[in-house]
């Protein structure tokens, strides 16, 4: 891919703007040599304004999403994309979230511009478990784990049973729930069906991938080993 197109696809600016940036010498290799528009320098060797380029196409990002942010590019208020560099919104292919967390849910959120990878994560046959840490308004009654694991639970206004889910009781009003599917507001609706209310909800793991070392509001690019943990 020509350097001008590469930079434009990464969201640094239009092709015209990138042509100007190259002419002005803002694009160099790691030795400080100015690059030309038709340069075929490896991605990892290119600097833009003395900084390494953003991740190449096919990137997968893990964010520790804070409360109060919406998984959208167009909604009003604070958006998860506000926590990424502005140019990430201009990437081609587009950088999309893999699934969603609602505004009042925090924790592990994935992004990618790789459509094949996105569909692999969300495909039912991949059976990627997602783990949620929960605080409830009222004490657990004691029968929730058996109900959630039964495979017989059905949510209001739906006609298909939920897949069995594993509930780990952590305290009188604290629990950890592992789901193997992702229906609309599923965790909240499951507890609502038992007469309880979720007051705090955070996704702590996707597959075997956790948030170790990622502070709230921060993100990191996943290595190949990190990507593998999603399915491990």
212 is catalytic: no
**Beta strand extents in 55-197 (DSSP E only):** 60-65, 96-98, 105-112, 130-136, 166-169, 174-179
Q: In 10 A of CB 80, how many CB atoms? A: 22
DSSP secondary structure of 89-104: GG-SS--EEES---TT
Catalytic one of 49, 50, 75, 102: 102
Three-class SS state of 16: helix
CA nearest neighbour of 176 among 197, 154, 206, 203: 203
DSSP H or E run through 118 = helix 115-122
Pairing outcome for strands 60-65 and 96-98: unpaired
Let me know: does 113 contact 96? Beta carbons within 8 Å.
Answer: yes
Q: By the 8 A CB rule, do 161 and 151 touch?
A: yes
For the CA atoms of 41, 47, 52, 56, the dihedral, rounded to the nearest 10 degrees, stands at -40
- Residue 107 near residue 209 (C-beta atoms within 8 A): no
Active site residues: 102
């Amino acid at each position: 891919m020509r350097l001008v197109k590469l930079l434009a696809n990464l969201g640094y600016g239009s092709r015209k703007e990138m042509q100007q940036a190259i002419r002005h010498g803002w694009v160099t290799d790691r030795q400080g040599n100015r690059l030309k528009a038709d340069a075929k320098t490896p991605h990892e060797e290119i600097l833009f304004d003395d900084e390494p380029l953003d991740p190449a196409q096919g990137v997968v990002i893990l964010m520790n999403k804070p409360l109060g942010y919406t998984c959208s590019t167009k909604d009003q208020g604070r958006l998860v994309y506000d926590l990424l560099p502005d140019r990430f919104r201009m990437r081609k292919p587009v950088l999309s979230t893999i699934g969603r967390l609602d505004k009042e849910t925090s924790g592990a959120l994935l992004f990618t511009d790789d459509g094949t990878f996105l569909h692999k994560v969300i495909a039912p046959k991949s059976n990627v478990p997602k783990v949620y840490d929960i605080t409830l308004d009222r004490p657990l009654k004691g029968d929730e784990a058996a109900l959630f694991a039964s495979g017989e639970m059905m949510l209001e206004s739906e006609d298909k049973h939920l897949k069995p889910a594993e509930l780990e009781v952590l305290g009188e009003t604290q629990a950890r729930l592992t789901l193997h599917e992702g229906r609309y507001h599923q965790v909240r609706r499951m507890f609502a069906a038992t007469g309880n209310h979720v007051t705090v909800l955070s996704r702590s793991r996707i597959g075997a991938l956790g948030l170790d070392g990622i502070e709230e509001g921060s993100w990191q690019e996943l290595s190949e080993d990190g990507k593998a943990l999603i399915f491990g």
